[in-house]
Amino acid sequence: MNNDIPVFAEQRGDRLHSSVPQVVTAAKALAGQTGGKVIGLVVGATAGAADALDKTGVDQIVTVADASLANYNALRYRSALAGAISQLQPRVVLLPATFMGRDLAPRVAARLKLGCATDVIGLGIGGNGGLDVKRPVYNGKAFCHVTFPTGKTAIASVRPNTFPASTGPGGAPRSAIAFTASPGDDRATTREIAKTGGAVKDVTEADIIVSGGRAMKAEENFKIIYELAAELDAAVGASRAACDAGYQPHTRQVGLTGKTVTPKLYVACGVSGAIQHLAGMRGSKVIVAINTDPEAPMVKVADYAIIDDLFKVVPLLTQEVRKLKAH
């Protein structure tokens, strides 16, 4: 086993996921403690993703390329990553705790019979020389520390938007590891990929999010949220109540069972701020609540609150942003 820290470089359609440079930051800090290299691990035939990864300041890039890895497939990616880890024998492997990372990390750990900690927000090398991580539990009400034993690779997925993105000069050496499929990899195959969302930003990738809750009352009423979001170059988010009611797809849901976000600005329109919603967005730098109820939990955690009807306030805000941008 060596002191290197490979980072799974999640990509889709040859586009590096925005959380990868953040995980590289966490890996660099760890590598500073272990004295190893940060290795960017790209799965799939992905020259563009590897080029983007190079700009994050990794020390080395390793690709596992095969035509069957062009699109994400849990079983094949598990085999690819498990094969790479078996060859590289690193001390720690990090993945982003995205939907893909959450799916993949435990599968790889189970395949290799290794320990795995998910959704971590702090990492270091513990007194025993093993990986020591901090992860939120009980909707973020408490934290637990997990210490891994030494002598085996530790696997951890890192919560997106916890660390700043890493940048570097580029020019990292590249090498390839051959893909070896495992028996059973074809048990699940991808028949169709239906893309949703179009040009609309994903909430995990945006600096600003405008979210709507149950108070939006109908899908068509989200038009005002989208208009404000467009002016602010923001993503549109939603509470689970709004998604369950069909006002927005669940891909936009923020919270415990949705996505975790830490944008610079989170504008919550008619979202009460239930603990499960707060669990996904309370790390936002600035929170603005627009709510008719001054006692709503979202108002309590907000930096700024507008106590009024969102159907009046949101279009006014959009107008004001347009005016400001015109100057």
Q: Are 268 and 293 in contact (CB under 8 A)?
A: no
Shortest Å, Cβ 313 to ligand FAD? 7
Q: How far is the CB of 309 from ligand FAD (least distance, A)?
A: 4
Comparing CA positions, the residue from 203, 156, 165 lying closest to residue 53 is 165
Q: Which of 35, 257, 319, 322 binds ligand FAD (CB under 6 A)?
A: 257
* Nearest Cα residue to 197 out of 125, 248, 266: 248
Contact 38, 31 (CB under 8 A): yes
Q: Which residue has the tokens 């949703």?
A: 196
Stretch that binds ligand FAD, among 71-79, 90-98, 102-110, 275-283 (CB under 6 A): 275-283
Identify the residue among 53, 62, 296, 317 touching ligand FAD (CB under 6 A). 296
| Residue 136 interacting with ligand FAD (CB under 6 A) | no
Asked whether position 293 contacts ligand FAD by CB under 6 A, the answer is yes
Q: Is 258 in the site for ligand FAD (CB under 6 A)?
A: yes
Q: Does 239 bind ligand FAD (CB under 6 A)?
A: yes
Q: Is 240 in the site for ligand FAD (CB under 6 A)?
A: yes
Binding residues for ligand FAD, total number by CB under 6 A: 28
**Beta-bridge partners for 143:** 136
Out of 274, 287, 305, 317, point to the residue binding ligand FAD (CB under 6 A): 274
Distance separating alpha carbons of residues 135 and 158, to the nearest angstrom? 9
Output phi, psi for 132, to 5 deg: -125, 120
Q: CB nearer to ligand FAD: give 262 or 272.
A: 272
Q: How large is the angle between the packed helices 99-112 and 74-88, nearest 10 degrees? A: 60
- Does 76 bind ligand FAD (CB under 6 A)? Our answer is no
Nearest alpha carbon to residue 243 among 231, 256, 230: 256
Tokens of 246: 């069909």
* Alpha-helix runs per DSSP H in the chain: 20-34, 47-54, 74-88, 99-112, 223-232, 240-244, 275-281, 297-301, 310-326
Q: Characterize 38-76 residue by residue with b for buried, 16 or more Cβ atoms within 10 angstroms of its Cβ, and e for exposed.
A: bbbbbbbbbeebbebbbbbbbbbbbbbbbebbeebbebb
Choice from 287, 310, 317, 318 touching ligand FAD (CB under 6 A): 310
Site membership for ligand FAD, residue 281 (CB under 6 A): no
By C-beta, is 166 or 284 nearer to ligand FAD?
A: 284
- Our finding on whether 253 is near ligand FAD (CB under 6 A) is yes
By the rule CB under 6 A, 213 interacts with ligand FAD: yes
Check binding of 301 to ligand FAD (CB under 6 A).
no
For residue 188, give the nearest of 84, 103, 115, 112 by alpha carbon.
Answer: 103
Nearer to ligand FAD, 202 or 293 (CB): 293
Among the listed ranges 37-45, 105-113, 142-150, 287-295, the one in contact with ligand FAD (CB under 6 A) is: 287-295
Q: Which of 271, 287, 288, 305 binds ligand FAD (CB under 6 A)?
A: 271
What residues line the site for ligand FAD (CB under 6 A)?
A: 213-215, 239-242, 253-258, 270-272, 274, 276-277, 280, 290-293, 296, 309-311
